[in-house]
A and B are shown apart, each in its own frame.
Chain A
Amino acid sequence: EPEVTQTPSHQVTQMGQEVILRCVPISNHLYFYWYRQILGQKVEFLVSFYNNEISEKSEIFDDQFSVERPDGSNFTLKIRSTKLEDSAMYFCASSEGGEYQPQHFGDGTRLSIL
């Protein structure tokens, strides 16, 4: 069964550094998403991406964050000047599109900011 793959599984970074989290969505999916989950808290939507541009973003997704689809398969989340509070699980998801299509999640990247 096709799946969303994320790399790395765990990223440890010094505060103030930049990190790039990578995702390969399911191949025939058109919509891509990033979510985060701080330890013990709920899953929070960050951004959605369609047709090479941001479709929707939450108030969490400020100028510190950016997304990119650098080629036909990868989808990346860049976090600039990381802060301690950026420590969380970051999940990539993809869907075929439309509000009735379910979103399928990758295994996540655990980001630890020191």
Chain B
Amino acid sequence: QKEVEQNSGPLSVPEGAIASLNCTYSDRGSQSFFWYRQYSGKSPELIMSIYSNGDKEDGRFTAQLNKASQYVSLLIRDSQPSDSATYLCAVNGYSGGGADGLTFGKGTHLIIQP
């Protein structure tokens, strides 16, 4: 049974600060890792993807992956009130079929305080 764990929060961060979101996963065979943002009542929106150990930066977002520790994180720099949402960590295994479903964590509710 694949598991993805996230602290549900809420995580409260002042505007302009760095928000740090964390995720651990259970399946060592997992190959790709995604961060989605979900506003209340809306669908998941892709923020970042990462496949190799290390950091990947895209604008104000940095994803970090450590496969040895089975740990993924997302940093949001210069946090804005519009970043307030639930952030979902999703993990894709590889069964060889190429169409694996994502396993999602429960999400971390982030609140950016103006």
Contact status A56-B44, CB under 8 Å: no
Contact status B98-A102, CB under 8 Å: no
Point out the residues of chain A lying under 8 angstroms from B32, CB to CB: 99-100
Contact status A43-B95, CB under 8 Å: no
Contact status A33-B101, CB under 8 Å: yes
Point out the residues of chain B lying under 8 angstroms from A49, CB to CB: 99
Chain A contact surface mostly: strand
Point out the residues of chain A lying under 8 angstroms from B34, CB to CB: 102-103
Q: How far does the Cβ of A100 sit from chain B's closest Cβ, in whole Å?
A: 5
The winner among A33, A98, A106 for most chain B CB atoms within 10 A is A98
Contact status A56-B97, CB under 8 Å: yes
Q: Is B73 an interface residue (CB 8 A)?
A: no
Q: How far does the Cβ of A33 sit from chain B's closest Cβ, in whole Å?
A: 6
Point out the residues of chain A lying under 8 angstroms from B49, CB to CB: 100, 102
Q: Which of A87-107 contact B (CB under 8 A)?
A: 89, 91, 97-100, 102-107
* Interface size range of chain B in the complex: 20 to 34
* Interface size range of chain A in the complex: 20 to 34
Contact status B95-A56, CB under 8 Å: yes
Q: Is A31 an interface residue (CB 8 A)?
A: yes
Contact status A100-B99, CB under 8 Å: no
Partner of B99, one of A91, A97, A104: A97
Known: A42-B107, A99-B92, A100-B51. A48 touches B99 (CB 8 A): yes
**Distance of A4 Cα from B4 Cα, bound (Å):** 25
Q: Is A64 an interface residue (CB 8 A)?
A: no
Q: Is A17 an interface residue (CB 8 A)?
A: no
Contact status A91-B31, CB under 8 Å: no
- Contact pattern, A 50-81, Cβ under 8 Å of B = 1, otherwise 0: 10000110100000000000000000000000
Known: A49-B99, A97-B98. A43 touches B104 (CB 8 A): yes
